[in-house]
Amino acid sequence: MKFYSRKLIKPGDLNANNTLFGGQLLKWIDEEAGIYAMSKLGNKRVVTKYISEIDFVSSGKQGDIVEIGLEFLAVGRTSISFRCVVRNLVSKKVIIKIEKLVFVNVDQEEKAVPHGKTLADLIPLAPRGNT
């Protein structure tokens, strides 16, 4: 899993208990994963289709920096799916886990259309070692 972006938890990101508001965290994740899907598929018309069970593992506090990690799960005909983990940048303590986020490639009429990519297109093979 690669951790692509970081967010600073500010006063406006908190809930009534003064910990990170889950809705704010989900907004960050949806945006980050959407941008990743758009960049990988080469299309800015990509929409969130499905988000699986969400496990809020631990809380985030004001002033903490969190990092958002994404990993490919699957590449379909019109869709692309990721797994997500968000953790504290310093302590590495996990804050949230989402097993599956699905994004769909759409056309101007917002209909699902094939993106034409395969997993091999999106994850280049690692260079071969000497052994």
Ligand X SMILES: CC(C)(COP(=O)(O)OP(=O)(O)OC[C@H]1O[C@@H](n2cnc3c(N)ncnc32)[C@H](O)[C@@H]1OP(=O)(O)O)[C@@H](O)C(=O)NCCC(=O)NCCS
Smallest separation (angstroms) from ligand X to the CB of 119: 12
CB of 20 closer than 8 Å to CB of 13? yes
Looking at beta carbons only, is 47 or 123 nearer to ligand X? 47
Q: For residue 87, which of 108, 65, 120, 104 has the smallest C-alpha distance?
A: 65
Smallest separation (angstroms) from ligand X to the CB of 117: 10
How far is 122 from 9, CA to CA, in rounded Å? 31
Smallest separation (angstroms) from ligand X to the CB of 23: 14
Looking at beta carbons only, is 97 or 100 nearer to ligand X? 100
Q: What angle do CA 1, 65, 104 make, to 5 degrees?
A: 45
Q: Record the tokens describing residue 116, joined without a space.
A: 């034409």
Looking at beta carbons only, is 22 or 76 nearer to ligand X? 76
Looking at beta carbons only, is 4 or 50 nearer to ligand X? 50
Listed in sequence order, the residues at least 6 apart from 5 whose beta carbon sits closer than 8 Å to its beta carbon are 32, 67, 68
Smallest separation (angstroms) from ligand X to the CB of 105: 8
Number of residue whose CB is nearest ligand X: 76
| Residues engaged in binding ligand X (CB under 6 A) | 47-50, 76-79, 102, 104, 106, 110-112
